[in-house]
Amino acid sequence: MSFRVRAIAILFFLGLTLAGGLGLAAMTGTLSALMPGALKADIVLADYPIPGGFGVAPQEVSDYLVTEMQKRSLNDIALRLVLGNDTQQKLHDVVIPRLLNAGVIRTMIGEVQPLADVLSIGQYKSTAEIAVRNDGAEPLTDVAMIVPGAIRAEDGNGVVEVADTQPGLSAIRLGDMQPGEQRSVIVWRSVAADFGPAAIGQFSVGAAGGVRGHVDVLGARNWFGSGLEKTAWARWLVSALLVAVTFAGLVGLVTSLRTFVRRRRDLPDTTAPLHVR
């Protein structure tokens, strides 16, 4: 084998080894650890289906309450004795409808926070499970993450502040992070899960001082190799690696078959009759 052929073979197998290592890192989800920068964020997007017609209409609540209160106001004997027939009728016709109209009910829903939280579920279209970590050796201050369509966010300590930045985009404020610290947050969003390049490009993470972090967006599937969803070039790398392995296998198979056939031809013919003198 000539020197040129050996050099080409060495370069080929060296490239194959490097590509295999990067492909394995991508499949096991450790490729992000090789990325430059200290601030990293992994995002798992999933749809959040809500039954059709979920929610409460203030007018329906108002109509129901008015009807029930009016019925009770006329049938309550104690009210008749205290207020008299004329005042009881005015309570039925004027007071109750004015106090329990749709505008009052709508204001009540917004001001009673537990009720508002329950009814806001109708706006949820998807969730984002976010893990932000500081892999650097220096502390980071004012860490924040842009999450499109964020409505509500929670971590292990409760509700996390969501600040509007521009139409359709919201910022999740995570505060300061020490070296090696990780924060996990779940975010409910008003937009459906979209894995297109434009939608994924809207996610970003950063900190004070102009620090920009690296963001990886995944689907909800939990399978070995799900890390390939993070970057398109990793999928092409694995595909190219499989093509190279297939090509190398075919070359090795053809070479082995040719060698086997050549050796069979060089063997002596043992089927010829022996002549003994």
Domains of the chain: 1-29+229-255 (no CATH), 37-48+126-224 (2.60.40.290), 58-119 (no CATH)
Write the single-letter amino acid at 237.
L
What three-state secondary structure class fits 39? strand
Phi, psi of 208 (to 5 degrees): -60, 150
pLDDT at 10: 73
The pTM for the full model equals: 0.56
d(CA 47, CA 125): 6
- pLDDT given for residue 57 in this prediction: 67
Query: Which residues, at least 6 apart from 188, have a Cβ–Cβ distance to it below 8 Å?
Result: 48, 124, 126, 127, 150, 151, 152, 153
129 strand-pairing partners: 44, 186
Report how far residue 217's alpha carbon sits from residue 195's, in angstroms, rounded to the nearest whole number.
8
DSSP string, 186-255: EEEESS----SHHHHTT-EEEETTTEE-EEEEE-S---TTGGGGT-HHHHHHHHHHHHHHHHHHHHHHHH
pLDDT value at position 23?
65
Tokens of 227: 């890390």
pLDDT of residue 38: 78
For 16, how many CA atoms within 13 A lie in the half-sphere containing its CB?
Answer: 14
Give phi and psi for 63, each to the nearest 5.
-60, -40
CA 207 to CA 136: how far, in whole Å? 13
Digit-by-digit pLDDT tens for the chain (277 residues) are 566 777 777 777 777 677 666 666 666 556 555 565 678 888 888 888 776 666 666 677 777 878 888 787 778 777 777 777 788 788 778 887 777 777 777 777 767 777 766 666 777 888 889 999 998 888 999 999 999 888 888 888 888 888 877 666 788 988 899 998 999 999 999 888 887 778 888 898 999 888 888 888 876 555 555 556 656 666 677 777 777 777 777 777 777 777 767 766 665 655 555 555 5
* Among candidate residues 147, 146, 152, 148, the one with its CA nearest the CA of residue 124: 152
